[in-house]
């Protein structure tokens, strides 16, 4: 055995070898981001006390992890990383924004052999924006690994570009289902040597929209591949479906969903008429201390109309929905992530996995039709254990949906109070006792 191979070492011996080979100060040479001093909830702090070094990862991978600002593994990462490294299939359920991407990307990248010039891992995600986000994280984490080639391929982009890229060396493919299946059927993407397939937002991928495509994709893989499934909402029917078809082999089950909503998100509703919604939104904008906000509507037409209204009110606003050209969607996504605009109006296209740390307020301008969508929407704020605010504008027609969501998620959505304390959603105020920051007066049908 090669004693420098992490697979044959316990963590203390491994760290000693790293120290001997690279010196005590290899961490000091890292280009670390500014330390995140914001308060974090037990959603990400209730760990076993493990360190990333405990998993005997490559030093170069550790460098990428720390330069992402990831200091210690979150609960889902603690549970998932060692199991994934062992090669076992996983069914994992954890809250939005608690580190699921890192939970599968770290073991995935650890197992990549850059000496082999074929595709070794596939990550399937339901939306184009999420594919771009995951591929960017992969590239950042693996930048010190010396040649891991990551490729994102999604619908709405030029197929010729994908063909040219797959003609070259590619180790990891991040893809939406339709595009990767197209590449497989055309014989352009070769996946017979893929050792790991990840399904992020697995409940969506195994819904009626995608399940047939997923079945076809799995059919192209070898029999001894590893499959990892991650999601926040994970119906039992998903597990039965996969096991019945023998796609998973004795999967290790992780469930960190004792409660469904994030601890750091405070939820309110305001009872209004349809005609009063824009006025109420204007009041919220003028009074709340918003870093960035995401406002959800239930149709593409209402997204565009509301974005126009918000702009007319004098607030900066982007909008995004599935019917827009991909090039424009990419630009909006990129610019909003980089903080070029404070408010984003969107459809449920933006509910899945999108991670924008600066978002501290989510507003359901239109209340969602089901609890699953509600959970994913409000999970766009309060990312990685931070604080956030979810405000729901409720009409008479939404009252029964509101009660259904509360019951199914076992959560309490309270009437919006006369005053909202900034410490509930603004990081700088969480440890400071402040005066109520504003009084909201909503009109009601009387």
Residue 105, Cβ density class (10 Å: 0-12 exposed, 13-18 middle, ≥19 buried): buried
Tokens 């479906």 belong to 241
Q: Mean per-residue pLDDT for 381-394?
A: 81
Q: Which two tokens stand for residue 108?
A: 């995935």
**Residue 434 — pLDDT band, cuts 50, 70, 90?**
very low
Instruction: Give the strand order in the sheet containing 121-124.
Output: 150-153, 172-175, 121-124, 196-200, 226-231, 90-93, 252-255
Strand 292-296 and strand 343-346: the pairing is parallel
Q: Which of 161-170, 206-215, 347-356 has the highest mean pLDDT?
A: 161-170
Which is higher by pLDDT, 306 or 356?
306
204-213 average pLDDT score: 87
Label residue 16 by pLDDT band (50, 70, 90). low
Burial of 61 per CB tally in 10 Å (0-12, 13-18, 19+): buried
pLDDT band at 406 (very low <50, low <70, confident <90, very high): very high
Question: Of 114, 74, 116, whose CA–CA distance to 95 is shortest?
Answer: 74
pLDDT band per the 50, 70, 90 thresholds, residue 250:
confident
192 contact partners, CB below 8 Å, separation of at least 6: 220, 221, 222
pLDDT at 333: 86
Q: Which residue has the higher pLDDT, 248 or 320?
A: 320
The predicted pLDDT at position 363 comes to: 96
What domains appear along the chain, each with residue ranges and CATH number?
A: 6-255 (3.40.50.300), 265-429 (3.40.50.300)
In tens, the pLDDT along 99-143 reads 899 999 999 999 999 999 999 999 999 988 899 989 999 999 999
Cβ neighbour number for residue 117 with a 10 Å cutoff: 12
Which whole number is the average pLDDT over 287-309? Answer: 94
Q: CA 394 to CA 398: how far, in whole Å?
A: 6
SS3 293: strand
pLDDT at 173: 97
Rounded Cα distance, 402 and 408, in Å: 10
Average pLDDT over residues 141-156: 92
Exposure letters 386-417 (e unless 16+ CB within 10 A, then b): bbbbbbbbbbeebeebbeebbeebebebeebe
Average pLDDT, the chain: 85
Note the pLDDT tens digit of each residue in 277-297: 999 999 999 899 999 999 999
Q: Residue 241: what pLDDT?
A: 59
Ranking 20-24, 175-179, 323-327, 363-367 by mean pLDDT, the lowest is 20-24
Give the C-alpha distances (Å, rounded to integers) separating 412 from 53, 93, 159, 275, 407.
Answer: 39, 22, 47, 26, 9
* Alpha-carbon span 45 to 36, nearest angstrom: 14
Name the pTM for this structure. Answer: 0.78
Closest C-alpha to 297, from 316, 258, 315, 323 = 323
Nearest to 420 by CA among 316, 317, 270: 270
In the chain, the percentage of residues whose pLDDT exceeds 70 is 83
Rounded Cα–Cα distance for residues 381 and 61 (Å): 28
Instruction: Please report the pLDDT score of residue 259 as a whole number.
Output: 64
pLDDT attached to residue 10 = 54
pLDDT in tens, 170-199: 999 999 999 999 999 999 999 999 999 999
The answer, yes or no, to whether residue 403 has pLDDT greater than 60, is: yes
Greatest mean pLDDT among 7-16, 75-84, 251-260 lies in 75-84
Check pLDDT > 50 for residue 420: yes
pLDDT, position 236: 57
């Amino acid at each position: 055995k090669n004693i420098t191979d992490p697979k044959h070492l316990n963590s203390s011996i491994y760290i000693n070898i790293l120290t001997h080979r690279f010196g005590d100060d290899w961490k000091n040479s890292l280009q670390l981001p500014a330390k995140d001093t914001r308060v974090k909830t037990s959603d990400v702090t209730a760990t076993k006390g493990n360190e990333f070094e405990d998993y005997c990862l490559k030093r170069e991978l550790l460098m990428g992890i720390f330069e992402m600002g990831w200091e210690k593994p979150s609960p889902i990462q603690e549970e998932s990383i060692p199991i994934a490294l062992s090669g076992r299939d996983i069914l994992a359920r954890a809250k939005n924004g608690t580190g699921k991407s890192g939970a599968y990307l770290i073991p995935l990248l650890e197992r990549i052999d850059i000496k082999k010039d074929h595709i070794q891992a596939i990550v399937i995600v339901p939306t184009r924006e999420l594919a771009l986000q995951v591929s960017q994280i992969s590239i950042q984490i693996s930048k010190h690994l010396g040649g891991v080639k990551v490729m994102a391929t999604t619908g709405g982009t030029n197929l010729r570009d994908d063909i040219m890229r797959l003609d070259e060396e590619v180790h990891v493919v991040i893809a939406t289902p339709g595009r990767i299946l197209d590449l497989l059927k055309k014989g352009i993407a070769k996946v017979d040597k893929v050792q790991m397939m990840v399904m992020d937002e697995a409940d969506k991928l195994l819904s009626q929209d995608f399940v047939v495509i997923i079945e076809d994709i799995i059919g192209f893989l070898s029999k001894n591949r590893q499959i990892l499934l991650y999601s926040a909402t994970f119906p039992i029917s998903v597990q039965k479906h996969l096991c019945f078809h023998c796609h998973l082999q004795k999967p290790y089950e992780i469930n960190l969903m004792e409660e469904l909503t994030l601890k750091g998100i405070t939820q309110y509703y305001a009872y209004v008429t349809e005609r009063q919604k824009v006025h109420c939104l204007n009041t919220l904008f003028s009074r709340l201390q918003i870093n960035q906000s995401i406002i959800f509507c239930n149709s593409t037409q209402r997204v565009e109309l509301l974005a126009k209204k918000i702009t007319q009110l004098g607030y900066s606003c982007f909008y995004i929905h599935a019917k827009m050209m991909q090039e424009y969607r990419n630009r909006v996504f990129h610019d909003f992530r980089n903080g070029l605009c404070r408010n984003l109006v969107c459809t449920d296209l933006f509910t899945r996995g999108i991670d924008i740390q600066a978002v501290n307020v989510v507003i359901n301008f239109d209340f969602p039709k089901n609890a699953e969508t509600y959970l994913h929407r409000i999970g766009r704020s309060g990312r990685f254990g931070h604080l956030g605010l979810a405000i729901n504008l409720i009409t008479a027609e939404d009252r029964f949906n509101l009660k259904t969501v509360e019951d199914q998620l076992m959560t309490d959505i309270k009437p919006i109070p006369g005053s909202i304390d900034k410490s509930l959603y603004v990081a700088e105020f969480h440890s400071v006792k402040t005066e109520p920051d504003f009084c909201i007066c909503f009109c009601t049908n009387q």
